[in-house]
C-alpha cells in the first residue's frame, strides 16, 4: 500500500470512523479521508494560525463594491431563502469583514443578527435562538465541524432552518487534488452530500433539499428522521 492510501490512526471529525491519509505531494499537504461519511479534513499540522487566518480574510474582496459578490447573494436569497417564508429572527453566522448578506436580508425586511469570530464576535447573538440561520462559505473553515454543527442546531428554534453554502467535494481523489476550492489555505473541511446526510441523521435534522453543488438546507425537527435529497 502506498503512502497516499495508508491508514492513519485518527478518527473522522464527523462520524468517528477510522480515516486514512491522502497526500498532495506537490504542496506537501496531507488530508484525512473518511470512507464512511465522505468527509475530508486537512490535517492539523497544515492549518494556519489564527493571526495568519485573520490576515488572509482581510484580503478578501467581500463587500458591496464587488458586484459579482453582491449578485451571488441576491440570487442566493431569491432561490433559497425567500421560498422558506421565514418571518422570525435570522442569524448570519460567519458574516465576514463586510456583512453583505446580512444587509441584503435586512433590506428585504428580515430581523437579522450576525456573528463572526474575527469580525463581529458578539457572543450575545449566541444566547438567542433563530428561525433561520445562514452560513455561507463558512463550514469549510471549521476546525471541529461536529461541535460547530451541534452549536448551530442549538441556536435554531423548533422547525427553524439552517441554510449552508459550501462547495461539495463530489469528486474522486485525483480530481479532489486538482480542485481549486481546496487550495484556499483557509479551507480545511470538505463535505460530500453523504456527509451532510450523516449529520442530518446524527443531529436529528431534516435534510430538506440541496442543489447538488454548493447549497444545502436543513430543518430542525423532533422525532423520526426523514432525509430527502431534492434538487432545487
Domains and CATH numbers, the chain: 7-220 (3.40.50.150)
The pLDDT value recorded for residue 1 is 38
Q: What is the DSSP letter of 173?
A: H
Residue closest to 12 by CA, chosen among 135, 194, 232, 183: 194
The pLDDT value recorded for residue 65 is 76
The pLDDT value recorded for residue 231 is 37
The pLDDT value recorded for residue 223 is 52
Entry pTM: 0.90
Q: Where are the beta strands (DSSP E) in the chain?
A: 7-11, 18-24, 29-33, 40-42, 89-93, 111-115, 130-136, 156-165, 189-190, 205-210, 215-220
Please tell me the number of Cα atoms within 13 Å of 41 on its side-chain side.
Answer: 26
Q: Strands of 29-33's sheet, edge to edge?
A: 7-11, 18-24, 29-33, 40-42, 189-190
The pLDDT value recorded for residue 84 is 97
**Grid coordinates of 123:** 457572543
Helix axes 193-203, 145-154, angle to 10 degrees: 50
The pLDDT value recorded for residue 98 is 83
What tens-digit pLDDT sequence spans the chain (232 residues)? 344 444 445 999 999 999 999 999 988 999 999 999 999 999 999 999 999 999 988 887 677 878 889 999 999 999 999 999 999 999 999 988 889 999 999 999 999 999 999 999 999 999 999 999 999 999 999 999 999 999 999 999 999 999 999 999 999 999 999 999 999 999 999 999 999 999 999 999 999 999 999 999 999 986 544 444 433 3
Amino acid at each position: 500500500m502506498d503512502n497516499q492510501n495508508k491508514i492513519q490512526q485518527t478518527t473522522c471529525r464527523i462520524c468517528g470512523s477510522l480515516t486514512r491519509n491522502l497526500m498532495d505531494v506537490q504542496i506537501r499537504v496531507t488530508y484525512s479521508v473518511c470512507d464512511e461519511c465522505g468527509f475530508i479534513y486537512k490535517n492539523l499540522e497544515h492549518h494556519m494560525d489564527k493571526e495568519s487566518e485573520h490576515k488572509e480574510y482581510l484580503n478578501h474582496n467581500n463587500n458591496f463594491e464587488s458586484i459579482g459578490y453582491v449578485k451571488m447573494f441576491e440570487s442566493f436569497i431569491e432561490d433559497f431563502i425567500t421560498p422558506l417564508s421565514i418571518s422570525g429572527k435570522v442569524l448570519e453566522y460567519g458574516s465576514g469583514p463586510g456583512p453583505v448578506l446580512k444587509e441584503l436580508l435586512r433590506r428585504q425586511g428580515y430581523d437579522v443578527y450576525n456573528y463572526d469570530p474575527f469580525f463581529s464576535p458578539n457572543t450575545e447573538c449566541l444566547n438567542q435562538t433563530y428561525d433561520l440561520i445562514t452560513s455561507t462559505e463558512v463550514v469549510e473553515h471549521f476546525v471541529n465541524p461536529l461541535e460547530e454543527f451541534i452549536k448551530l442546531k442549538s441556536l435554531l428554534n423548533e422547525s427553524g432552518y439552517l441554510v449552508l453554502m459550501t462547495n461539495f467535494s463530489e469528486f474522486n481523489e485525483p480530481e479532489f487534488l486538482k480542485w481549486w476550492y481546496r487550495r484556499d489555505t483557509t479551507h480545511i473541511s470538505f463535505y460530500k452530500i453523504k456527509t451532510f446526510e450523516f449529520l442530518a441523521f446524527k443531529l436529528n435534522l431534516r435534510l430538506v433539499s440541496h442543489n447538488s453543488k454548493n447549497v444545502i438546507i436543513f430543518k430542525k425537527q423532533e422525532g423520526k428522521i426523514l432525509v430527502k435529497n431534492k434538487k432545487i
